[in-house]
Structure 1
Amino acid sequence: MKSVIYTWLILSFLLAAPKAMARWNDCYGSMLATSNPSEIIEEHNNRVTVYIPIKIKVSDSLLDCADEIWVEDVYYYSMVFSGPTQDKYAKLYDSQFKKIKVRNGIWRSDLKDRSTQMWVRLRHYSLFPAGAYTGHVIVSVVKNNEIIDEQYLDLTYYSEPQVAISLSNSSKGKVSGSNGNYHIDLGELKSNMRFNWGIKILSNSSYDIVVDSEYNGLRHETNTQALIDYSIRFDNTQISSSGRLHRSYNFYPGVKNKWYGFEFQLGNVELMPAGTYQDNLSLTVYPR
């Protein structure tokens, strides 16, 4: 009888031991990686910087056993975003916007909390050319360099068509105003007098330009029937004050300021009533 009991105890120990070791080595749980486009951060300084969010959430069981989060590009050793004109290379930052180290194409971060915030940084020397920028990454939760769970995640940044207009440097002493509203004082009006100025347009897309006169000439401030014709030459195209100019410009890679010149020439002022004359000349840029 003693022999039977002794044998049973040894067998029970040998059968139970592997189960205990399996529980010690086991690591399991759930992970969710997301990227919300509404949380994208844009910074406009000397160059444009974009931060695309990645948020990783893990279950308590996974937090207790895993030790790292890995992020890697699906296709390349670098993190690459395809864009409308060229590919952009990204870098990965932690929640405090500190650079995460990369080794052999894998960005590694310690797993410390149930929720981890990361930021993918894209940068351009000027406005991003308009369009969608898309990257594809794999987010993994790891224990001892073994992947426990992973998820494929698409990242997207959309650059809206934008345009900015400013005076050229040579015009700042002759033209007053700011923020799109400018004033030119022609002084005493003389027949055929001329005035030149220029503007700079910065755009990340193709655009249309419309130049138009509100009064179809310089109008007397009280005698609205008194009108002095003039002509405008814009980008080597001339129109009369009663006309309307419409030009289309296509976008080419490399966003930079483009200069456009205006040349104003007054018509005949003989026998016109004395007084102050004014017109509102508009230049409107429509990105497309």
Structure 2
Amino acid sequence: MFKYLLVTLLLIGFSSQAKVIHQERSLYRNILVEETGDLRCLKFDEKARKSSQSCIYKSNPQKLVFNYTKLTFASLLLIDNPKNVLIIGLGGGTLSNVISELYPDAMIENVEIDPAVIKVARDYFAFKENDKVTSKVQDGRIFIKRAAIQQAKYDWIILDAFNGDYIPEHLLTKEFFAEVKSVLADGGVVAANTFSSSKLYEHESATYEAVFGDFINVSTEKNSNRIILAGFNKFPSPAQLAQRIEKLTPLLAPYRVDIKAVSEGMISTKDNKDWPSDTKVLTDQYSPANLLNF
């Protein structure tokens, strides 16, 4: 679950005072659930109350709050009708809920290291589980290692883990991405929620390229989140892209996702490499945590 967006009352459009409706200290972090008018948010740090990991509108839970969640659905321009979905990092379960509604026959596995987060998602964010949508308490990397041993394959892998400061270091390395690639089905896609403003930007980009080759950056706002799309076979032709946009537009409209606008924020690194060629790749031996203070 990994949603480090600076959300202020001004940006959201609410002026009432935030109210804490739940607070607990889990094994991993401080967890808060706050309400501000119609907005309910999950937060991980008492000292940085403006940083929300997940939010919903109580009056309309379908309507997505964060830009990054909308950008994640650019994945559907590269894959069609995903059958097996893996989400690393649960947050409030928003992505899982939406994907389940869009593809009710899809098997969706949510992996979250903190059991308290899963309980909060169920109790406060209407996270839905059934025979096709499951949650597992486990470190994401361990889960993927075991999935590889079992030769599991996923059409859509969403990397959305966040520890309160940034993406956990062991989920940012070349070795980890190679493990992710090993469980990606042929024709599938990896969607990773990360940042445009981090000092790790160039290192992350170089690391994704080292494992997956050319990838796509999806972003509509400068100095904000970016979604990395990697592992796919090839970018669709203009005609294929137009067909997919036409098909997805009415499906995504209830969630306030303008897929045409999202598509315009997709930039391939094939001809738009924006990091130096000598940028050091992140590895299990080299993952400079000091750069996370951005």
TM surpasses 0.5: no
**Greater C-alpha Rg:** 1
Provide the TM-score with structure 1 as the length reference: 0.20
Provide the TM-score with structure 2 as the length reference: 0.20
